[in-house]
Amino acid sequence: MNETIQNFAVYVLPILFAITLHEAAHAYAARYFGDATAYLQGRMSLNPVRHIDPVGTLLIPIVLYFVGSPFLFGYAKPVPVEWGKLRNPKRDMAWVALAGPAANLLMALLWMLFSIALVAFQVNEVFFLKMAQAGVVVNLVIFAFNLFPVPPLDGGRVMFSILPNRLAYKYGRLEPYGFFIVLGLLFLQVLKFWMIPVMIAAQTVLQLLVSPLTFLLS
């Protein structure tokens, strides 16, 4: 039980940061492209409380974690976007959607740099080393998961944006069922065939970015 609680403590901050910046990035991008709805509702904020859904962010992941579920699932409060208010709704939808995963990719890079700094300054505190590793993993997971091309996930929004109008609106009809499709794919462990390659590709890019720094410090 102690080990379980310690592992949970390691992941708390990385998850809160990952969720908060992901949602705030959506709000910022929406405002930039013409829709201030999320901004006016206080969602362009770095305060985690504004983005936490009591059930989706806290209850469901905690219960799944402590019962030893083979997969974890959770969600934040969706950022409200009125697509019609965007200057070019179909095009700008992709940029608003991509802002969230892009924030997670940036955070994964920052956690990776933090990990390198800990090693460089010979900080041997296991808790911080594990937290840095967790920060990278959590953000890569959220990055890959949200890019899965099924609405209402961010990847689904991007797919809608790039498809020709006729196909896009047919594809958009999946949205009411998207949540259940994703849950089913998670439960059947099919989603890993998307997530693992995307995570590996993203991690490889980040490692290439930090490689000059690791070379200098080695």
Q: Give tens-digit pLDDT for 117-173.
A: 998 888 888 999 999 999 999 999 999 999 999 998 999 999 999 999 999 999 999
Give me the number of domains the chain comprises: 1
What DSSP letter does each residue of 148-188 carry, written as one string? SSSTTSHHHHHHHHHS-HHHHHHHGGGHHHHHHHHHHHHHT
> With contact defined as beta carbons under 8 Å apart, do 150 and 175 qualify?
no
Which residue has better confidence, 218 or 151?
151
Question: What is the per-residue pLDDT for 187?
Answer: 81
Record the tokens describing residue 186, joined without a space.
């998670």
Banded pLDDT at 33 (limits 50, 70, 90) = very high
Task: Report d(CA 201, CA 117) in Å as an integer.
Answer: 23
Question: What is the per-residue pLDDT for 8?
Answer: 77
Q: What percent of the chain lies above the pLDDT cut of 90?
A: 60
The pLDDT of 71-79, averaged and rounded, is 75
Nearest alpha-carbon partner for 76 in 100, 109, 110: 100
Which residue has better confidence, 72 or 182?
182
Question: What is the per-residue pLDDT for 53?
Answer: 84
Question: What is the per-residue pLDDT for 11?
Answer: 86
Render the burial of 87-111: b for 16+ CB within 10 Å, e for the rest: eebeebbbbbbbbbbbbbbebbbeb
pTM: 0.91
**Which residues form the domain of 114?**
2-217
Q: Considering the chain, what is the average pLDDT of its residues? A: 89
